[in-house]
Copies of this chain bind each other. A is one copy, B any other.
Amino acid sequence: MHSPPRGRRLDAVSGPFTPRTPRVAAARRLHRRRDRDSTGRFLAEGPQAVREALTRPGLVVELFGTPAALDRYRDLAARAATADVPVSEVTDEALAALTETVAPQGLVAVCRHLDVPLDRALTAGHRLVAVLAGIRDPGNAGTVLRTADAAGAGAVVFAGDAVDPYNGKCVRASAGSLFHVDVVRAADPVAVVAALRAAGLTVLATTGYGDSDLDDLADAGRLATPTAWLFGSEAHGLPDELTAAADARVRVPLHGRAESLNLAAAAAVCLYASARAQRSRPTGPPTKESVRP
């Protein structure tokens, strides 16, 4: 057993924060959805996420880091300080309490929720939108968010009883994309579909039982217009009321003997089919000159 160093009071804030320091204890509670909802805050861990979060003014409330990490990533610490974000050293134990990964690389930021109302996202004129309807798995949701960002989607809607976008695993799986797109939370997915259509987007529901083949839609030029894709959970798919409300029910073609694709793969194929169609020069119907005699 070690005695505390002579002359050092145990209750004084001297040296790095420990897991019992009140600000660390408060931040740690953000692992729970209830506390995220009540405070409107969440945790973003690791230098990549912290860097992304700091690009959005006012988003980061507080930054914690081990002394080694704050030295290694002193550009991030300086950027936080410039933005009047409190930066605090924490012990390895405190960092472990604040993070969920095995190798969090020493940094974690407390951030404000960043979702926007659906109508605000729709006024931005996004030409590609992804809707996660009832997707409960945070890793799947974060992966689709990341893929949607990569494909150029401007907004991702977490609809119905979808996972909390600020769930730690979702934040990590998004690999920073949570900070790149308009994130929307909406309770009623049918209302979301109506709003998307009213905003001029074609709404396509992905389902293994769809009556439209993705390639056929692409060939017909129907993916070139502004589009919102609806994705359901791997276990249950989309509810009937949503597939019925969409403009088309689309299946990804299965050329081999697999019975289905997993969610991340299906979303990637659909979103990238739209991205490609929206960026291709319109070919239109054959002109008189192009018809072979």
Contact = CB atoms under 8 A, between A and B. Distances in A.
Interface of A: 143, 146-153, 173, 175-177, 180-181, 215, 218, 252-262, 264-269, 272, 275-276, 279, 287, 289-293
A240 B232 CA distance: 39
Contacts of A261: 146-147, 150, 268
A75 to B, nearest CB: 17
A255 B176 CA distance: 15
Contact of A289 (B177, B218, B268, B292): B292
A215 B275 CA distance: 10
A290 to B, nearest CB: 4
12 contacts: A146-B258, A150-B260, A150-B261, A152-B256, A176-B258, A177-B257, A180-B256, A255-B275, A262-B264, A264-B268, A265-B268, A269-B272
A256 B153 contact: yes
A255 to B, nearest CB: 3
A7 to B, nearest CB: 47
Contact of A180 (B176, B253, B257, B266): B257
Contact of A143 (B148, B262, B279, B291): B262
Given A264-B265, A268-B268, A272-B269, A257 B289 contact: no
Given A143-B265, A264-B268, A265-B143, A257 B290 contact: no
Nearest to A267: B265
Contacts of A265: 143, 146-147, 150, 264-265, 267-268
Given A176-B259, A215-B279, A264-B262, A254 B150 contact: yes
Contacts of A175: 258-260, 262
A258 B177 contact: yes
A276 to B, nearest CB: 6
A94 B113 CA distance: 47
A148 B262 CA distance: 12
Nearest to A144: B265
A180 B259 CA distance: 11
Contacts of A257: 149, 176-177, 180
B289 A275 contact: no
